[in-house]
Amino acid sequence: INILAIESSCDETSAAVVHNGREILSNIISSQIELHKLYGGVVPEIASRKHIEKINQVIEEALKEAKMTLDDINAVGVTYGPGLVGALLVGVAEAKAIAYAKKIPLVGVHHIEGHISANYIEHPDLEPPFLCLVVSGGHTHLVCVKDYGDYEILGRTRDDAAGEAYDKVARAVGLGYPGGPKIDRLAKEGDPDAILFPKANIEGAPYDFSFSGVKSSVLNYINGCRMKKKSYNPADIAAAFQKAVVDVLVEKSMNAAEEYAMNKFAIAGGVASNSALRSEMEMACGEKKIKFYCPSPIYCTDNAAMIGTAAYYEYLAGTRHGWDLNAVPNLKLGER
Ligand code: ATP
Ligand code: MG
Ligand code: FE
């Protein structure tokens, strides 16, 4: 089965050809980061327009690199939510047009199911059940992957997503957008114990997260220094903030792995590229004899390959969408 996959939920226009779910024949990503940088974040209207400009070219390249034409494609997979409605619609309309013209099945995919499925690409041995921590620009979910397409959300953020907190703190420290990778780099030069930022625990919800508190503490710390005309060290702030975030993520993840007696743990989403999260999680899993999985950075960021992998398992499970498939900006994981 060859699946042509399309992703356009945020600021990456991407197309991929995926063979039998786990073999990536091509994965073309056109990022709009340079464009949105000027505004300090993603501007939805600009994102939609750019997707329209790029999508045909990106699909052509994906087919070319896979040495295929549309005649070799057996199904089209596409992200239909969650995300920016105008951005999603570009991919959904394109996928519908191709599937209709070629008379092949259309499979809508949940973006976060895609992020989780990125773990299958480079780990042929990975199969459900396992636990997965999804940390991205818009989500922080601790998920039990019971089977392909069968998810139970054990915990989620009550306010900011992990990536969102990284981006906001980066802006406060003057690093610009997107801040995650920049904080990651700067933190290596700082002392994580120089400042103590709070770690949030939510009573009665052991697997829920909250990152707005630590974000506010960073902002208050910076404002305090400015007010007192005291200098501060951005590298120490980055390191201490990162420690507060990563410690909480690792701690709750390991508690869940213990409670659910899971010996496989995966991470996914843009923040899964974070070097501290990767190494701390690997170490914690090692201590508990849990097998740790994480995708290469190129499969952590938004990409169509992961959507193709997710679409393959949805396809096998019989998921088919009609020509009335619409973008669903707030689609819930597990909904069809
Ligand atoms: P969602 O997947 O929730 O819809 P999204 O698609 O916008 O949101 P992703 O592309 O998965 O999010 O991830 C982007 C986020 O990852 C940004 O917030 C970015 O700052 C963060 N990020 C990327 N690399 C790193 C890193 N090395 N360390 C920390 N954060 C990072
Ligand atoms: Mg993005
Ligand atoms: Fe994403």
Helix, strand, coil abundance in the chain, percent, nearest 5 = 45, 20, 35
Quote the pLDDT of residue 275. Answer: 98
Atom of ligand 1 nearest to the CA of 269: 11
**Burial status of residue 65 (CB atoms within 10 A of its CB: 0-12, 13-18, 19 or more):** middle
- Among residues 133, 101, 117, which one has the least CA distance to residue 16? 117
With a 6 Å cutoff on the Cβ, whether 184 touches ligand 1 is: yes
Q: How far is the CA of 71 from the centre of ligand 1 (A)?
A: 35
d(CA 115, ligand 3 centre) in Å: 7
pLDDT at 200: 86
Quick check: CB of 269 below 6 Å from ligand 1?
yes
What angle, rounded to 10 degrees, do the helices at 275-287 and 234-259 form?
Answer: 30
Does residue 163's CB lie within 6 angstroms of at least one atom of ligand 1?
A: yes
270 annotated as belonging to a binding site for a ligand = no
Pocket test for ligand 1, best of 43, 80, 136 (most atoms within 8 A of CB): 136
Task: Answer yes or no: is the C-beta of 179 below 6 A from any ligand 1 atom.
Answer: yes
pLDDT at position 176 is 86
d(CA 143, CA 128): 12
The answer on whether 180 is annotated among ligand-binding residues is yes
Q: Tell me how far the alpha carbon of residue 203 is from its chain's centroid.
A: 27
- The response to whether residue 86 sits with its C-beta less than 6 Å from ligand 1 reads no
What local confidence, expressed as pLDDT, does residue 40 receive?
86
Ligand 1 geometric centre to CA of 235 (Å) = 20
Distance 10 CA to ligand 2 centre (A): 6
Residue spans of the chain under pLDDT 70: 336
Q: Please indicate if the annotation marks 43 as binding a ligand.
A: no
Give the residue whose CA is nearest to atom 12 of ligand 1.
Answer: 137
Distance CA 136, CA 133 (A): 10
- Per DSSP bridges, beta strands 2-7 and 75-81 are parallel
